[in-house]
């Protein structure tokens, strides 16, 4: 009798947990249409050959501005961008820490715009960076560093508690991609083939204090330390995005920091002409981010510097790698064509519009 | 079930009766004045209000009617949030910039930044006024962050950046949430 | 730490586990520690108040208890020796000493309650009068924080001390046990207001793990969470939209808001009590029920016997009866009967007591005129229906509808509507506003408001309404079954698979349909503030 | 006892108070009745029933109530 009771109880718990797990899978946002950026972080785990020369970390200024395909095509460099929307510096740090558990790149590239944020900003962005990470100590530390005041860590461990209210807005995608999603990015690069020229850019507002926050500096120090301990070269960059405004006062601090720690710091805003960027046609949102044409130019320019500075080997003759990258190139070209077709047909990239189907 | 249907019937009867009593004595009741977020924009804001050329601009106010009154801006810029819907728009007019944010699909005023001394606050402070003028106009109830003097009223902040005893930046900022 | 917070659920799991793992004699001390930890979450600074109440009531309780014992002993020993007059005299003096102690204890503790809860209300009234008198002087408000659960634990303690004074039972000699009675965590925030003799029967006992108690308790907890999270917190959004925008939402919306609020208050308050009683049941502790399907009441007086029962009986036993049978009141009654005649004279004392009780009930709910008006309106309705008794009797003798289903349904609906209307005082900012909104239901009622899509602008989506409707059906069904006895007892007799299905459905629907987390205002139980 | 029954029947003419044993439990008497009753007893018997004696056991039947009155007038 008692034994039977225990068996019933245990099977009840199992059934309950299984259905809750399924519901969690169902309710988590899929990020396959419209806002696809939420899929960036998790896509890394599907990569079969986690062995890259370069790892990028940072916000949209990395994942929309550099094309790893170009780096491969032009220089035989393998690279991966672990970027996510408004990635804060502690998130970048822990993401790098996590990535280093899988591989040890030669160079780590960090975009310094995130220095402007000294504290957590928005739950939605936290989610896009953190939900995609596999469970690890890095993830837990990142969650702890990123939580807004009214957030609870339990909501990160059990995302069902966060997303349960989506029950009334489930879409086909939620069922279709319940267990498996197709790749959307190119080694972490988010491709945009549309064009929207720059018209005007507002000047920066005056700030009471231009010094980056202590917290931000602290994580930058830790990042330097981490790379040093693993023998990885850390490169600081400021992508050539025209907005948000990059103050001279900020730039000076980064120049100084790089000098003090013997790092390479490149502010691409100072090299727009050399890169060959034309803000009439190389941006898709009037100067915030580059489109695929701009990203290819920037990758080409940056690759040249990297090869020269860090003596990176050209791996285009490696048969195994070549095979992998050939299929990546194919996917890359397919997507470019697809986007161009959509632009031709609808005037915009329909599959990436905020409300698909409208 | 039977009980519920009875309750429903009585409800309907009640509503019907009272509906008949509805005399049109108050035709101007603002009942049709439902906007998206249910708030009543006709109320004068209890926060700081900026006035230019007879147009009043309060924080968190819907921006479309203001733009209509102000006319076309000299310059216009819009920035998408990374990966989130909603545009942040910037309208540049003579003397100031108007920033917006999107809430429930409605563009609302997020801030106003003074560009030169051709505009002034309702209380008469403009760029290059002295700190004393500010204190005289707004009192001691401010919060100071470095050189920034922040006054709060209702759903708005008014921020003065003071350098060498002079106002070098004035900004109205909406408090959201 | 609210009942619906993660930390509370974790806290509770730990307590449940420890409770049945540790030696049984440590069970009640564990609950005491748990209660103080729970209380500490609200703020260490509040400990002073509850500790002060505990200690003062404990000591005075012992004192009065001893006096009472001595008195009884003396009376017993001297019965037959002393004359009746002498005995009576002794009784009177002895009683007056006990009374002084009681008075001291009540003044102290009601004093604390009064100062923390009503100081600013008093100040605002004084300011109003000052302004009316044309004085430019205004008093400043004080920054007094209201200690968590003070209304509830003060009432519990004062019920205890009065009972000891009356000799109903002996005082508790173990101060820690008494401290647990005052601070018992499941009921500190919102009641029920337990009586010491009732609660102590199971509170300090050693409890073996009992599978049925555990089962029943867990289901009750889940049921409470369901009411609270799926229904109350969901509809709250709609209620708030209506009552916070009185300029926009008038007429038909006031009516809708009124019904919404009735639904919300019921789900919120009974849900909270379900959680309280369920937790206690898992711990093997029995707490008196606080509700008896109140929305099936046929009149307001009955409603108040079935809603928040422990509060109603508290006021009856410790306020209504004492003032009604207070000697001067009885003398006044005699005088009134001589002066105004039998029928009025008979009523006057009852009416005066009722008004005092309802005024107090009102102000107990909140320090504002809204609540006072709310209490007095309740009183008014009850007294009027009392006066109409002859009419009702005549009506029922004329028409034989008393037991007809339709007529009873009419009475039930009438009571719900009446109570909901009175509760408008509880919704709107001030008393004049309440009257205006109430009036708008009659002057500005547009049926079309309800069908032109405005209901979807209240912050509730179509899907929300569906959930609320299903919730209403479930709640009503359960209430109807309850009439025939405990739902859980019936469920317990059914095959395990059915019981587990109920568990399953409850848990999954709470997690999925609960209005918690991002996108919902996490609200407190309505009764926390009292 | 006769006096008491008279008072009670005055309150509820339709109840047979001589035999009824659950006046409180079955809610025949409500709190208003009890207060009226106590006032009547006070004037007729000159016995004041204190609040602590208002418990169901004392009011459930006319007999119990009469016993209470006797006990109280004893002092």
Q: Please check the confidence at residue B29 and state whether its pLDDT lies above 70.
A: no
Average pLDDT, chain C: 87
Q: Cα–Cα distance between A39 and A129 in angstroms, integer? A: 9
Band of residue C421 on the pLDDT scale cut at 50, 70, 90: confident
Q: Chains contacting C with at least 3 CB pairs below 8 Å?
A: A, B, D
- Would you state the structure tokens that stand for residue B177, as one six-digit string? 């949430």
Tokens in use for D20?
């009824």
Q: What is the pLDDT of residue A338?
A: 93
Tens digit of pLDDT for each residue in C266-293?
999 999 999 999 999 999 999 999 998 9
Looking at per-residue confidence, does C237 or C282 come out higher? C282
Measured CA angle at A216 (ends B160, B150), to 5 deg: 15
Predicted confidence band at B122 (pLDDT cuts at 50, 70, 90)?
Answer: confident
Other beta carbons within 10 angstroms of residue C201's beta carbon come to: 11
Q: Is D50 on the interface with C (CB under 8 A)?
A: yes
* CB of B78 less than 8 A from some CB of A: yes
Which residue ranges of chain A lie beneath pLDDT 50?
356-358
Q: What's the gap in Å between the CA of A224 and the closest CA on chain B?
A: 27
Chains A and D touch (3+ CB pairs under 8 A): no
Residue of A nearest to B82 (CA): A85
> What beta strand segments (E) does chain A contain?
54-58, 79-83, 107-111, 233-238, 264-267
**Percentage of residues in chain A with pLDDT exceeding 70?**
98
Cβ-based neighbour number of residue C493 at 10 Å: 9
At residue B73, the pLDDT reads 80
- B77 contacts on A by Cβ (under 8 Å): 199-202, 243, 286
C233: helix, coil or strand? helix
| DSSP tag of A213 | P
Phi-psi region of D41 (alpha: psi -120 to 50; beta: other; left: phi over 0): alpha
Cα B50 from Cα B57, distance rounded (Å): 5
The answer to whether B123 and B138 are in contact (CB under 8 A) is yes
**Beta-ladder partners of B145:** B148
Phi, psi (degrees; rounded to nearest 5) at B106: -115, 130
| Measured distance CA(A75)–CA(A66) in Å, rounded | 14
Residue B104 has pLDDT above 80, yes or no: no
Distance of alpha carbon C524 from its chain centroid, rounded? 15
Please tell me the distance in Å from B43's CA to the nearest CA on chain C: 10
Alpha-helical regions (H) of A131-247: 137-146, 153-157, 160-163, 172-176, 214-230
Contact: A206, B97; criterion CB under 8 Å: no
Which residues are CB-contacts of D59 (< 8 A; sequence separation ≥ 6)?
D23, D24, D29, D34, D65
Query: How many other C-beta atoms lie within 10 A of the C-beta of residue D56?
Result: 12
Instruction: Inspect the structure and tell me whether chains C and B have 3 or more CB pairs less than 8 Å apart.
Output: yes
Alpha-carbon distances, residue C366 vs C120, C141, C201, C521 (angstroms): 12, 17, 32, 22
Rounded-to-integer distance, Cα A181 and Cα A173, Å? 10
Residue with tokens 């007809």: C404
H/E segment holding residue B75: strand B75-81
- Tokens representing C385 are 């229906």
State the Cα torsion A217-A221-A224-A229 to the nearest 10°: -160
Q: How far apart are CA B157 and CA A181, in angstroms?
A: 45
| B76 vs A: CB within 8 A | yes
3-state SS class at B145: strand
d(CA C278, CA C222): 9
- Contact criterion met (CB below 8 Å) for C120 and C144: yes
pLDDT band (50, 70, 90) for residue C182? very high
Supply the DSSP string of C354-377, one letter for each residue.
HHHHHHHHHHHH-SSHHHHHHHHH
Dist CA A179 CA A160 (whole Å): 15
Q: Is C410 on the interface with A (CB under 8 A)?
A: no
Residue A153, domain extent:
27-352
Token pair for residue C18?
Answer: 């420890």
CA atoms within 13 A on the CB side of B21: 15
Report the DSSP beta bridge partners of residue A83. A58
Cα distance from C480 to chain B (closest Cα, Å)? 10
Q: For residue A82, list its beta bridge partners.
A: A57
For position D55, which CATH number holds? 1.10.1200.10
Give the ipTM of the model, two decimals please: 0.78
Measured from the Cβ of residue A213, the count of other Cβ atoms closer than 10 Å reads: 15
Q: Give SS3 for A4.
A: helix
Q: For C36-73, write each residue's pLDDT tens digit.
A: 999 998 888 889 899 999 999 999 999 999 999 998 88
On whether the CB atoms of residues D69 and D47 are closer than 8 A, the answer is yes
The structure's pTM equals 0.84
Domain contains C81: yes
Domain ranges across chain B: 49-174
Highest mean pLDDT among A348-352, B85-89, C180-184, C371-375: C180-184
CB-based contact (8 Å) between C107 and chain A?
no
Q: Which residue of C has its CA nearest to A7?
A: C496
User: Do C271 and C158 have their domain in common?
Assistant: no
Query: Is the domain B49-174 a CATH 3.50.50.60 member?
Result: no
Task: Flag whether A252 is in a domain.
Answer: yes
Query: Which of chain C's residues have a Cβ under 8 Å away from the Cβ of D30?
Result: 301
Question: Is the predicted pLDDT of residue C145 greater than 70, yes or no?
Answer: yes
What tens digit of pLDDT does each residue of D20-30 get? 888 888 878 88
Give chain A positions within 8 Å (CB) of B168.
206
- For residue A34, tell me if it sits in a domain: yes
Contact status of C80 with chain A (Cβ, < 8 Å): no
* Segment D8-65, tens digit of pLDDT: 888 888 878 888 888 888 878 888 888 888 888 888 888 888 888 888 888 888 888 8
DSSP per residue over C86-144, as a string?
A: HHHHHHHHHHHHHHHHHHHHHHHHHHHHHHHHHHHHHHHHHHHHHHHTT----PPPP--
Neighbours of D10 (CB within 10 A): 12
For the cut 60, the answer to whether the pLDDT of residue C525 exceeds it is: no
Per-residue model confidence (pLDDT) at position C520: 57
Confidence of residue B88 (pLDDT cuts 50, 70, 90): confident
Let me know if residue A117 belongs to a domain: yes
Report the percentage of chain B scoring pLDDT > 70. Answer: 73
* Chain A contact for B148 (CB, 8 A cutoff): yes
SS3 track for A315-344? CCCCHHHHHHHHHHHHHHHHHHHHHHHHHH
Q: Quick count: other Cβ atoms within 10 Å of Cβ C97?
A: 13
| Total structural domains within chain C | 3
Please state, as a whole number, how many other Cβ atoms lie within 10 Å of the Cβ of residue A33: 19
* The two three-digit tokens of residue C366, written as one number: 């909140």
| Least confident residue range of C79-88, C201-210, D51-60 | C79-88
Other beta carbons within 10 angstroms of residue C344's beta carbon come to 12
**Range from A221-235, C29-43, C75-89, C413-427 carrying the lowest mean pLDDT:** C75-89
In the three-class reduction of DSSP (H, G, I as helix; E, B as strand; rest coil), residue A212 is classed as coil
Residues C60, C141 share a domain: yes
- The pLDDT assigned to C85 comes to 82
Q: Which of B97, B102, B106 is nearest to B50 (CA)?
A: B97
Query: How close is the nearest chain C Cα to the Cα of D72, in Å?
Result: 11
Does residue C250 sit at the B interface (CB-CB below 8 Å)?
yes
Query: Is C341 inside any structural domain?
Result: yes
D73 touches chain C (CB under 8 A): no
Q: Which of A255, A250, A246, A249 is nearest to A288 (CA)?
A: A246
CB atoms within 10 A of CB A335: 18
Would you call the peptide bond into B6 cis, given omega within 30 degrees of 0 as the criterion?
no
In a domain, C415, yes or no: yes
Residue A335 lies in a domain: yes
Dihedrals phi, psi of C360, to nearest 5 degrees = -65, -45
Instruction: Report whether the peptide linkage leading into residue C192 is cis, meaning its omega lies within 30 degrees of zero.
Output: yes
User: What phi and psi, each to the nearest 5 degrees, are found at residue C34?
Assistant: -60, -40
Q: Do C241 and B26 touch (CB under 8 A)?
A: no
pLDDT value of position A358: 33
C-alpha of C443 from chain center = 34
For testing contact with chain D, the best of C82, C315, C324, C355 (most D CBs within 10 A)? C324
Please list, in sequence order, all residues whose beta carbon lies within 8 angstroms of the beta carbon of residue C355, skipping any fewer than 6 positions away: C376, C379
Q: Which residues of B touch C247 (CB under 8 A)?
A: 30, 40
Higher pLDDT, B10 or A57: A57
- Output the pLDDT for position A22: 94
Q: In sequence order, what are the residues at sequence separation of 6 or more whose Cβ sits closer than 8 angstroms to the Cβ of residue C19?
A: C27, C30, C31, C207, C283
For C76, the enclosing helix (H) or strand (E) is helix C47-78
As given in the structure block, the two tokens for residue B173 are 């900022």
Nearest to C41 by CA among C13, C11, C18: C11
Give the Cα separation of A119 and C178 in Å (integer). 47
Domain extent, residue C87, equals 6-209
Q: State the smallest CA–CA distance between residue A35 and chain B in angstroms.
A: 6
Q: How far is C504 from chain A (nearest CA, A)?
A: 7
Number of folded domains that form chain A: 1
Domain that holds residue D34: 2-74
- List all residues of chain D from 11 to 40 with a beta carbon under 8 Å from chain C: 30-32, 34-36, 38-39
Please say whether the beta carbons of A138 and A98 come within 8 A.
yes
Which chains border A (3 or more CB–CB pairs < 8 Å)? B, C
Least confident of C137-141, C219-223, D44-48: C137-141
Whole-angstrom distance, CA of residue A36 vs CA of residue A177? 13
Both tokens assigned to B104: 């429930």
The answer to whether C495 contacts chain A (CB < 8 Å) is no
To 10 degrees, the CA torsion angle through A130, A131, A133, A137? Answer: 60
- Work out the pLDDT band at D75, boundaries 50, 70, 90: low
List the single residue in A with minimal CA-CA distance to C464. Answer: A168
Length of chain B: 177
Number of domains in chain D: 1
d(CA C321, CA A107): 85
Residue B32 is predicted with a pLDDT of 26
């Amino acid at each position: 009798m008692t034994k039977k009771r225990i068996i019933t109880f245990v099977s009840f718990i199992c059934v309950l947990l299984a259905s809750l797990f399924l519901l969690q899978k169902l309710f988590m946002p899929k990020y396959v249409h419209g806002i696809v950026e939420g899929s960036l972080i998790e896509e890394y785990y599907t990569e079969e050959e986690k062995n890259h020369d370069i790892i990028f970390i940072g916000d949209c200024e990395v994942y929309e501005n550099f094309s790893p395909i170009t780096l491969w095509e032009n220089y035989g460099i393998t690279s991966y961008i672990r970027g996510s929307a408004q990635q804060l510096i502690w998130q970048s740090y822990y993401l790098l820490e996590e990535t280093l558990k899988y591989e040890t790149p030669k160079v780590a590239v960090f975009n310094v715009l995130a220095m402007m944020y000294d504290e957590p900003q928005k739950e939605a962005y936290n989610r896009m960076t953190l939900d995609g990470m596999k469970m690890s100590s890095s993830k837990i530390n990142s969650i702890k560093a990123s939580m807004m005041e009214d957030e609870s860590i339990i909501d990160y461990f059990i995302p069902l508690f966060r997303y349960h209210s989506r029950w009334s807005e489930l879409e086909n995608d939620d069922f279709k991609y319940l267990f498996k999603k197709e790749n959307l990015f190119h080694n972490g690069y988010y491709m945009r083939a549309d064009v929207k020229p720059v018209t005007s850019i507002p000047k920066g507002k005056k700030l009471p204090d231009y010094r980056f926050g202590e917290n931000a500096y602290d994580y930058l120090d830790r990042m330097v330390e981490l790379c040093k301990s693993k023998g990885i070269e850390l490169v600081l960059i400021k992508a050539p995005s025209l907005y948000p405004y990059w103050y001279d006062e900020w730039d000076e601090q980064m120049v100084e920091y790089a000098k003090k720690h013997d790092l390479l710091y490149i502010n691409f805003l100072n090299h727009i002409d050399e890169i060959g960027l034309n803000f009439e046609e190389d941006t898709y949102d009037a100067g915030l981010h580059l489109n695929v044409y701009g990203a290819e130019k920037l990758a080409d320019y940056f690759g040249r510097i990297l090869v020269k500075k860090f003596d990176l080997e050209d791996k285009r003759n490696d048969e195994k790698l070549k095979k992998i990258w050939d299929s990546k190139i194919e996917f890359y070209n397919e997507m470019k064509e697809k986007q161009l077709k959509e632009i031709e047909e609808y005037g915009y990239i329909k599959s990436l519009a905020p409300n698909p189907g409208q | 079930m039977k009980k519920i249907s009875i309750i429903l019937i009585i409800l309907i009867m009640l509503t019907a009766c009272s509906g008949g009593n509805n005399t049109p004595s108050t035709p101007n009741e603002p009942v049709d004045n439902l906007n998206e977020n249910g708030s009543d924009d006709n109320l004068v804001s209890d926060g700081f209000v900026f006035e230019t050329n007879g147009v009043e601009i309060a924080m968190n106010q819907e921006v479309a009617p203001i733009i209509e009154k102000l006319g076309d801006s000299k310059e216009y810029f819009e920035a998408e949030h990374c990966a989130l819907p909603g545009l942040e728009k910037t309208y540049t007019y003579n003397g100031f910039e108007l920033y917006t944010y999107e809430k429930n699909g409605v563009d609302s005023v997020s801030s106003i930044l003074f560009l030169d001394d051709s505009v002034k606050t309702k209380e008469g402070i403009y760029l290059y006024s002295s700190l004393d003028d500010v204190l005289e106009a707004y009192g001691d109830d401010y919060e100071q962050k470095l050189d920034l003097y922040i006054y709060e009223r209702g759903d708005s902040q008014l921020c003065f950046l003071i350098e060498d005893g002079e106002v070098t930046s004035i900004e109205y900022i909406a408090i959201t949430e | 730490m609210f009942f619906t917070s993660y930390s509370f659920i974790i806290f509770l799991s730990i307590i449940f586990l420890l409770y049945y793992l540790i030696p049984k004699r440590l069970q009640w001390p564990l609950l005491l520690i748990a209660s103080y930890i729970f209380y500490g979450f609200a703020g260490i600074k509040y400990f002073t108040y509850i500790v002060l109440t505990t200690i003062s009531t404990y000591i005075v309780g012992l004192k009065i208890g001893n006096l009472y014992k001595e008195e009884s002993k003396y009376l017993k020993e001297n019965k037959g020796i002393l004359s009746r007059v002498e005995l009576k005299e002794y009784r009177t003096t002895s009683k007056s000493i006990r009374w002084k102690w009681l008075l001291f204890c009540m003044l102290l503790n009601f004093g604390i309650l009064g100062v923390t809860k009503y100081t600013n209300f008093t100040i605002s009234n004084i300011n109003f009068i000052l302004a009316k008198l044309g004085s430019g002087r205004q008093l400043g408000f004080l920054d007094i924080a209201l200690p968590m659960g003070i209304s509830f634990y003060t009432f519990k303690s004062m019920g205890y001390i009065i009972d000891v004074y009356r000799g109903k039972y002996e005082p508790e000699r173990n101060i820690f046990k008494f401290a647990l009675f005052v601070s018992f965590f499941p009921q500190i925030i919102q009641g029920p207001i337990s009586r010491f003799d009732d609660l102590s029967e199971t509170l300090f006992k050693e409890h073996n793990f009992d599978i049925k108690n555990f089962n029943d308790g867990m289901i009750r907890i889940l049921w409470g969470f369901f009411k609270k999270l799926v229904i109350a917190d969901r509809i709250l959004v709609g209620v708030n939209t209506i009552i916070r925008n009185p300029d926009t939402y008038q007429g038909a919306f006031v009516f809708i808001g009124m019904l919404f609020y009735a639904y919300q208050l019921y789900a919120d308050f009974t849900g909270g009590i379900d959680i309280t009683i369920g937790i206690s049941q898992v711990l093997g502790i029995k707490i008196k029920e606080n509700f008896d399907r109140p929305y099936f009441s046929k009149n307001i007086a009955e409603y108040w016997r079935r809603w928040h029962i422990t509060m109603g009986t508290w006021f009856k036993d410790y306020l209504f009866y004492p003032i009604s049978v207070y000697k001067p009141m009885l003398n006044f009654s005699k005088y009134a009967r001589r002066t105004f005649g039998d029928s009025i004279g008979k009523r006057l004392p009852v009416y005066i007591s009722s008004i005092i009780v309802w005024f107090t009930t009102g102000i107990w709910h909140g320090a504002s005129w809204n609540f006072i008006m709310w209490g007095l309106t309740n009183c008014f309705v009850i007294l009027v229906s009392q006066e109409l008794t002859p009419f009702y009797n005549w009506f029922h003798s004329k028409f034989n509808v008393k037991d007809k289903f339709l007529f009873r349904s009419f009475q039930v609906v009438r009571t719900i509507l009446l109570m909901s209307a009175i509760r408008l005082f509880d919704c709107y900012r001030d008393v004049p506003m309440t009257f205006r909104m109430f009036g708008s239901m009659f002057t500005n009622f547009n049926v079309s408001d309800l069908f032109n899509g405005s209901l979807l602008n209240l912050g509730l989506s179509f899907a929300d309404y569906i959930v609320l409707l299903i919730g209403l059906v479930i709640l009503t069904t359960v209430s109807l079954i309850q009439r025939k006895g405990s739902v859980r007892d019936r469920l317990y007799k059914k095959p395990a698979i059915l019981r587990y299905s109920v568990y399953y459905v409850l848990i999954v629907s709470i997690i999925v349909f609960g209005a918690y987390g991002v996108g919902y205002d996490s609200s407190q139980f309505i009764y926390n503030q009292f | 006892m006769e006096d008491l029954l008279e008072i009670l029947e005055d309150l509820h003419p339709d109840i047979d108070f001589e035999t009824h044993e659950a006046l409180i439990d079955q809610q025949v008497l409500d709190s208003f009745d009890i207060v009226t009753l106590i006032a009547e007893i006070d004037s007729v018997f000159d016995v004041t029933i204190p609040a602590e004696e208002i418990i169901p056991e004392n009011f459930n039947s006319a007999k119990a109530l009469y016993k209470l009155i006797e006990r109280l007038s004893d002092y």
